[in-house]
């Protein structure tokens, strides 16, 4: 990859620093897509010992690229995102990936295919981190930033993505405990 090609890729990725998500940080500002992607990559790194047979380098790579399509479309909250929105985001992302130099193009295409198939432990782990980080971030944000539908969504979002792992089920249960306490404390 030439230095110019590297800079072009990084320039697209930089948009994720500018594009915000529905979530707020604990300091009260909107979270960027890049911050979300960074933290799920950190989660994957920290989970390595819990998944000794998984290729955690691959999981971290999945985490880092999973939302790059949002550099073209922006973020749409999961509870508002339609299949048409997903198709538009995927089309823009895959079209861009087709322009990347080798071996980046081949690697990213393989990762994206594996992520979409959701058959491997690595793909399932990346997706679980993606979902769990979102509920963790909501629990870290002030509850005044929550929409009414998020009170229930916090307890159901990502639940189906942790069923393959007793550890992730325990993590989701701990997050749910945090959520219930946050909701109860807000009513006092």
HEC string for 22-49: EEECCCCCEEEHHHHHHHHHHHHHHCHH
* Per-residue model confidence (pLDDT) at position 159: 97
Q: Rounded to whole angstroms, how far apart are CA atoms 42 and 45?
A: 5
Cα torsion angle, 176, 181, 186, 188, sign: positive
* pLDDT surpasses 90 at 79: no
- Per-residue pLDDT band for 119 (boundaries 50, 70, 90) equals very high
Over 90: is that where the pLDDT of 77 sits? no
Calculate what percentage of the chain has a pLDDT beyond 70. Answer: 100
Share of the chain above pLDDT 90, in %: 91
* pLDDT score of 102 more than 90: yes
pLDDT value, residue 187: 85
Mean pLDDT of 110-118: 96
Is CATH 1.10.3210.10 the classification given to domain 3-186?
A: yes
Q: Hey, where are the domains in the chain?
A: 3-186
Q: Do 137 and 42 contact (CB within 8 A), yes or no? A: no
Pairing of the two strands 20-24 and 30-32: antiparallel
Banded pLDDT at 20 (limits 50, 70, 90): very high
pLDDT at 188: 78
pLDDT score of 142 more than 90: yes
Instruction: Give pLDDT, residue 153.
Output: 94
- Average pLDDT of the chain, as a whole number: 95
């Amino acid at each position: 990859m030439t230095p110019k090609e590297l800079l072009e890729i990084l320039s697209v990725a930089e948009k994720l620093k500018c594009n915000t998500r529905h979530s707020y940080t604990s300091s009260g500002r909107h979270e960027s897509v890049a911050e979300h992607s960074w933290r799920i990559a950190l989660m994957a790194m920290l989970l390595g010992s819990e998944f000794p047979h998984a290729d955690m380098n691959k999981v971290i790579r999945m985490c880092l690229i999973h939302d790059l399509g949002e550099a073209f479309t922006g973020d749409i909250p999961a509870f508002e995102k339609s299949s048409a929105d997903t198709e538009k985001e995927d089309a823009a992302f895959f079209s861009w990936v087709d322009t990347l130099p080798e071996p980046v193009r081949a690697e990213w295409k393989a990762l994206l295919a594996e992520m979409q198939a959701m058959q491997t432990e690595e793909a399932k782990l990346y997706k679980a981190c993606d979902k769990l980080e979102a509920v963790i971030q909501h629990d870290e944000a002030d509850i005044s930033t929550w929409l009414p539908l998020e009170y229930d969504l916090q307890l159901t979002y990502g639940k189906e993505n942790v069923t393959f792992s007793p550890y992730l089920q325990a993590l989701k249960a701990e997050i749910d405990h945090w959520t219930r306490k946050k909701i109860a404390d807000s009513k006092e």
